[in-house]
């Protein structure tokens, strides 16, 4: 991982992967995105199909899916490398590479039965189905699922009856099915949550679209006596949170790579702007205050990226990365937001306009500080781990 000069660098195979993704973004994604509206939430179905076809042709598909399930089996570090480059587009915070790199079912399906994977996971890996939703958060909160989850699944013979409400659920508007975490035991018991696959359009399930600060909408899901067959339960009853550990912890690491990629792109754009933009007879680049803003941004970005790499590396070694993932997520998302905020400031009015991607990134990155665990929750988890 080091060169003769002592500088840290990626392994050769990941450097090649990064360059492949970078070329794909430059040659395929950017030209298409330039034809879309500023606040577009994705290409048309035909455009998406073509993007995914071209991505599959060069091996950029099902990257996070284990090889035993037909995917590329990319390491967590490799997933971060791809996610950082794929985020370098206007939609990158929530639709990296415009959705070109698909094929990854929810990781909890890898722990289900072969029948469950073949029915729900295989079509995604093979590109025959879109993304499902995952419903965890509720009106009572989402930081501690063992305490917050009140949506209940009650068993009646060969099926469960689901009653309750989920909030802030992504992809629920287009998904055909989803992963639901519901209570099957007593409140506050971590062994009282179970995991289910549910039909996204079945009787008893109603959806309400919630507009938020980002360019994407989230959904409220209300379950009124929704029946789910016992065979749709993933794992044993009460194993839901244990099965979701990888999703709740490991996913925070590549999640952080998107904001870091956006911040890097914003900083690169701003550096070029400062070299050419003149005020009062001199380029912005000559102003000491501007130089310090650029320097602080570059320093913080380097630190955030290395913390992400460290977390990913430890995850790939099989270590307990609960604290690493929290440090990574907290630092990466807050750093990216600060950097884009500085970039908006340096571009002035142009930075706030829809002529630039900065204002969209600013909104989307503000949401990223809440998603996958709010910053305050990350700080609490880090503090508790250090003081345990």
Averaged confidence pLDDT in the chain: 93
- The whole-angstrom separation of Cα 358 and Cα 152 is 42
| Fold of domain 251-387 | Butyryl-CoA Dehydrogenase, subunit A; domain 3 (1.20.140)
Q: In the CATH scheme, what is the code of domain 133-243? A: 2.40.110.10
335: closest CA among 259, 255, 252, 265? Answer: 259
| pLDDT at residue number 290 | 96
Tell which phi-psi region holds residue 6, choosing left (phi > 0), alpha (psi between -120 and 50) or beta: left
Q: 358 versus 215: which is more confidently predicted?
A: 358
Per-residue pLDDT tens digits for 344-376: 999 999 999 999 999 999 999 999 999 888 999
Is 293 strand, coil or helix? Answer: helix
| pLDDT at residue number 143 | 67
The proportion of the chain whose per-residue pLDDT surpasses 70, expressed as a percent, equals 97
| pLDDT at residue number 132 | 96
Residue 147 has pLDDT above 80, yes or no: no
Per-residue pLDDT tens digits for 95-139: 999 999 999 999 999 999 999 999 999 999 999 998 999 999 998
| pLDDT at residue number 186 | 81
- The whole-angstrom separation of Cα 323 and Cα 331 is 12
- The whole-angstrom separation of Cα 227 and Cα 23 is 47
Residue 106, phi then psi, degrees to nearest 5: -55, 135
What separation in angstroms does the CA of 234 have from each of 86, 106, 173, 275? 31, 12, 23, 56
pLDDT band for position 194 (cuts 50, 70, 90): very high
Residue 4 has pLDDT above 50, yes or no: no
107: closest CA among 168, 26, 179, 48? Answer: 179
Q: Which residue has the tokens 């360059």?
A: 19
Q: Where are the domains of the chain?
A: 12-104, 133-243, 251-387
Is 182 strand, coil or helix? Answer: strand
1-5, 13-17, 209-213, 302-306: segment of lowest average pLDDT: 1-5
- The whole-angstrom separation of Cα 60 and Cα 17 is 9
Residue 7 has pLDDT above 70, yes or no: no
Residue 337 has pLDDT above 90, yes or no: yes
| pLDDT at residue number 6 | 46
What separation in angstroms does the CA of 96 have from each of 25, 121, 233? 10, 21, 31
Domain 12-104 has CATH 2.70.70.10: no
- The whole-angstrom separation of Cα 162 and Cα 183 is 9
pLDDT band for position 247 (cuts 50, 70, 90): confident
> What does pTM read for this prediction?
0.93
């Amino acid at each position: 991982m080091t060169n003769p000069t002592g500088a840290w660098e990626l392994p050769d195979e990941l450097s090649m992967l990064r360059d492949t993704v970078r070329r794909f973004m430059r040659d395929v994604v950017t030209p298409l995105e330039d034809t879309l509206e500023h606040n577009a939430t994705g290409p048309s179905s035909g455009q998406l199909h073509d993007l995914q076809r071209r991505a599959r042709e060069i091996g950029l598909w099902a990257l996070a899916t284990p090889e035993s399930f037909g995917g590329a089996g990319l390491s967590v570090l490799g997933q971060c490398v791809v996610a950082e480059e794929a985020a370098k587009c206007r939609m990158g915070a929530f639709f990296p590479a415009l959705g070109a790199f698909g094929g990854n079912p929810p990781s909890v399906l890898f722990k289900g039965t072969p029948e469950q994977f073949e029915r729900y996971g295989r079509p995604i890996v093979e590109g025959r189905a879109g993304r499902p939703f995952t419903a965890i958060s509720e009106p009572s909160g989402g930081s501690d699922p063992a305490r917050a989850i009140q949506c209940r699944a009650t068993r009646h013979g060969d099926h469960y009856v689901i009653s309750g409400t989920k909030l802030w659920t992504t992809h629920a508007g287009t998904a055909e099915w989803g992963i639901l975490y519901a209570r099957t035991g007593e409140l506050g018991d971590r062994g009282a949550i179970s995991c289910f696959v549910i039909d996204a359009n079945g009787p008893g399930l109603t959806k309400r679209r919630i507009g938020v600060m980002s360019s994407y909408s989230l959904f409220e899901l209300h379950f009124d006596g929704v029946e789910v067959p016992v065979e749709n339960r993933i794992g044993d009853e009460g194993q839901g949170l244990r099965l979701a550990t990888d999703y709740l912890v490991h996913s925070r690491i590549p999640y952080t790579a998107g904001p870091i990629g956006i911040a890097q792109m914003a900083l690169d754009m701003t550096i070029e702007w400062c070299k050419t933009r003149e005020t009062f007879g001199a380029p912005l680049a000559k102003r000491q205050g501007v130089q310090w803003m650029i320097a602080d941004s570059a320093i913080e970005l380097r630190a955030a990226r290395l913390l992400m790499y460290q977390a990913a590396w430890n995850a790939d070694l099989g270590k307990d990365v609960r604290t690493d993932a929290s440090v990574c997520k907290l630092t990466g998302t807050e750093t990216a937001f600060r950097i884009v905020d500085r970039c908006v400031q340096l571009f002035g009015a142009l930075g706030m306009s829809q002529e630039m991607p900065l204002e969209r990134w600013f909104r989307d990155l503000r949401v990223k500080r809440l998603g996958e665990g709010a910053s305050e929750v990350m700080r609490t988890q880090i503090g508790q781990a250090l003081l345990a």
